[in-house]
């Protein structure tokens, strides 16, 4: 039976919320559901989180805190930027359903501020003025968050059989298109629906962002 006297660790609540979001989506994360999981009354959770938005902010902060920023080095600025952005993606990619929560917390949570400052340092070193570095950095981070939240197949049922069935239906739909009208889409149906390698998917995403930054700098 839920009890008000049970000691509640907010860190464990965020852990539970993250696991719930990963498996069932953010809509499943409610204070009432978490209270049931921790065998307390909802009122006990309100002592640590003012509302669901406050809890979601804590989830975003948790992902930002998991970023393992690279050591400073004397490598070229664009190589160090690639490392920085890869570290950001590595922290987000296990949690595609939660990754979007980081966007609004980067300039609020300390780990996000540290990443933003170091990213802008590298862009300024690469030749961008401060304001342009802010624009380039912001759009790069937004692009990478979208890369994670739209990973092909990430929104499917986590149960392997059901997930494979859903992907099979999507592949069949593309494969059924007229190959004379859509020869490239039909021939690449498998890859369009689900990348051949998740690691390659993310590596390519970071490569494209960094290459785009170099291109803007050159222009």
pLDDT confidence tier of residue 155, bands split at 50, 70 and 90:
low
175 vs 111, which has greater pLDDT?
Answer: 111
Q: If you average pLDDT over every residue of the chain, what do you get? A: 91
Q: Are residues 79 and 185 in the same domain?
A: no
Q: Are residues 45 and 93 in the same domain?
A: no
Q: Is 59 a domain residue?
A: no
Q: Are residues 142 and 168 in the same domain?
A: no
pTM of the full predicted structure? 0.88
Cα-based distances in Å from 154 to 22, 69, 108, 149 = 10, 25, 27, 8
Q: Are residues 144 and 206 in the same domain?
A: yes
Mean local confidence (pLDDT), 191-198: 85
Q: Is 128 a domain residue?
A: yes
Mean local confidence (pLDDT), 183-190: 91
Q: Is 81 a domain residue?
A: yes
Q: Are residues 99 and 35 in the same domain?
A: no
The domain containing residue 103 runs over which residues?
65-151+195-218
Residue 56: name the closest of 29, 20, 35, 23 by CA: 29
Q: What percent of the chain has pLDDT over 90?
A: 73
């Amino acid at each position: 039976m839920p009890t008000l006297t049970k000691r509640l660790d907010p860190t464990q609540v965020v852990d539970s919320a993250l696991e719930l979001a990963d498996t069932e989506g953010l809509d499943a994360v409610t204070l009432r559901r978490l209270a049931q999981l921790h065998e307390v009354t909802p009122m006990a959770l309100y002592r640590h989180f003012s509302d669901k938005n406050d809890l979601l902010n804590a989830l975003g902060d948790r992902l930002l805190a998991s970023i393992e920023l690279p050591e400073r080095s004397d490598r070229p600025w664009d190589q160090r930027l690639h490392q920085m952005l890869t570290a950001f993606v590595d922290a987000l990619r296990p949690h595609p359903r939660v990754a979007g929560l980081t966007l609004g917390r980067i300039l609020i949570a300390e780990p996000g501020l540290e990443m933003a400052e170091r990213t802008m340092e590298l862009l300024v070193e690469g030749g961008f003025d401060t304001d342009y570095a802010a624009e380039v950095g912001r759009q790069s981070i937004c692009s990478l968050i979208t890369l994670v939240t739209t990973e092909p197949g990430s929104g499917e049922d986590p149960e392997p059989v059901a997930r494979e069935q859903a992907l099979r239906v999507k592949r069949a739909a593309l494969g059924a298109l007229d190959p004379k009208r859509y020869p490239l889409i039909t021939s690449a149906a498998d890859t369009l629906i689900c990348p051949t390698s998740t690691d390659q998917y993310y590596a390519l995403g970071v490569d494209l962002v960094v290459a785009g930054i170099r291109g803007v700098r050159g222009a």
